[in-house]
Structure 1
Amino acid sequence: MEIVILSVIVIVLMGFLFYVIYDNLKERKRLELYIMKMENPIIGRSVEDKK
């Protein structure tokens, strides 16, 4: 009986860890896209041309 409870706890922890890591990866991709937009010279040039 104890083995079943332990295995359930382990499965829940693994699922939680996977969810946290997956969420962090999504956030990182969003940050990378934002940084790329900030550093993109084409976007910077178009902003300067409008001035």
Structure 2
Amino acid sequence: MTEEADAAYRAWLCEILDAAAVARLLKRAELDDHPGLVPALHHLAGHLR
């Protein structure tokens, strides 16, 4: 994914998700052991604060 596409995707996710939803997704990713998803969700959560 290009940087531009990645930024657009993050912006779209920020519009449809709130911080609580990202926190729930992050907890689930950690519990289900999805190591690649955890950093991405931490990054997204940083944009929502």
TM-score by length of 2: 0.33
More helix by share: 1
Q: Which has the larger radius of gyration?
A: 1
TM-score by length of 1: 0.32
